Amino acid sequence: MTARMRLQPEAIGVGMTSQRVRDRLIERLRENDIRDERVLNAIRTVPRHLFVDEALATRAYEDTALPIGHGQTISQPWVVAKMTEALFADGKSPAKVLEVGTGSGYQATILAALGIEVFTVERIGDLLRTARKRFRSLGLNVRSKHDDGRIGWPENGPYDGILVTAGAPALVDALSTQLAPGGTLVAPVGASNAQRLLVLRKDADGSLRQDDLAPVVFVPLLSGLVD
């Protein structure tokens, strides 16, 4: 390789947003026990750098949460992978999923890339508007609304999966009632500085089983709307 080529990393595909950098993230997720090839493929395909400010684009393929404004964050890729993978556990293939906390729109886009019909709710209008622009420019049909997601979106339920992407002291009952039989809810539950990623599975007879996936830290699930 010549020195001149080294000075033009984008031209030879080793820039911070290149496929090679994305593949490195996928390897890292594999090393950290993400196994579902469909989920890994969605993360490989969706350009995460389009979901953060341009100034942070060079860090978009690190396995880390990043600020998206309004004190909120785009989740760490491993957490997105873990939550998404939980929806596909036991050979399931969810058709319709509700997300609470649209944020950057990245998690919703990963779900849409997996062929899922996505409904997402966000309380901060400004974040939602930016996320909607991203959905549009990527040609995705993600349904979204500006509301307090703790009430879910009952008109479109029940859902095969519900992902809550903000932390709360306890599971929200209004959400588990919108889960279809056989459905899966994933939510961070616990104190504001340390939560457990819980999985709630609704059996065919409507009974609920709870599992603990991992320790996580999410921004808080809050009430009230912000423009």
Residues serving a catalytic function are: 75
129: which 2 tokens?
Answer: 């508007």
Q: How far is the C-alpha of 102 from the C-alpha of 164, rounded, in Å?
A: 9
Q: Of 47 and 182, which CB lies nearer to ligand SAH in the complex structure?
A: 47
Q: How far is the C-alpha of 87 from the C-alpha of 194, rounded, in Å?
A: 23
- Give phi and psi for 172, each to the nearest 5: -95, 115
Q: Of 104 and 195, which CB lies nearer to ligand SAH in the complex structure?
A: 104
Q: How far is the C-alpha of 62 from the C-alpha of 134, rounded, in Å?
A: 21
Q: Least distance in Å: CB of 199 to ligand SAH?
A: 17
Q: Draw the binding track, 154-193, toward ligand SAH (x: CB under 6 A; -: no contact).
A: -----------xx---------------------------
Binding ligand SAH by CB under 6 A: which of 21, 148, 156, 213?
Answer: 148
Q: Least distance in Å: CB of 147 to ligand SAH?
A: 7
Q: Other CB atoms closer than 10 Å to residue 81's CB: what's the count?
A: 26
Given 3-state DSSP classes, what are the helix, strand and coil percentages for the chain, each rounded to the nearest 5? Answer: 35, 30, 35
Q: Of 183 and 188, which CB lies nearer to ligand SAH in the complex structure?
A: 188
Q: Of 148 and 211, which CB lies nearer to ligand SAH in the complex structure?
A: 148
Taken in order 154, 159, 165, 171, is the CA torsion positive or negative? positive
Q: Least distance in Å: CB of 6 to ligand SAH?
A: 34
**b (16+ CB within 10 A) / e for 184-212:** bbbbbbbeeeebbbbbbbbeeeeeeeeee
Q: Least distance in Å: CB of 35 to ligand SAH?
A: 21
Q: Does 46 bind ligand SAH (CB under 6 A)?
A: no
Whether a cis peptide bond, with omega within 30° of 0, leads into 158 is: yes
Select the span of 86-94, 146-154, 176-184, 205-213 touching ligand SAH (CB under 6 A). 146-154
Would you tell me the crossing angle of helices 37-45 and 106-113 to the nearest 10 degrees?
120
Q: Of 100 and 187, which CB lies nearer to ligand SAH in the complex structure?
A: 100
Q: Draw the binding track, 67-106, toward ligand SAH (x: CB under 6 A; -: no contact).
A: -----xxxx------------------------xx-xx-x
Binding ligand SAH by CB under 6 A: which of 122, 132, 178, 187?
Answer: 122
- Token look-up 């599975």 returns 201
Rule CB under 6 A: which residues touch ligand SAH? Answer: 72-75, 100-101, 103-104, 106-107, 121-124, 127, 148-150, 165-166, 219, 221-222
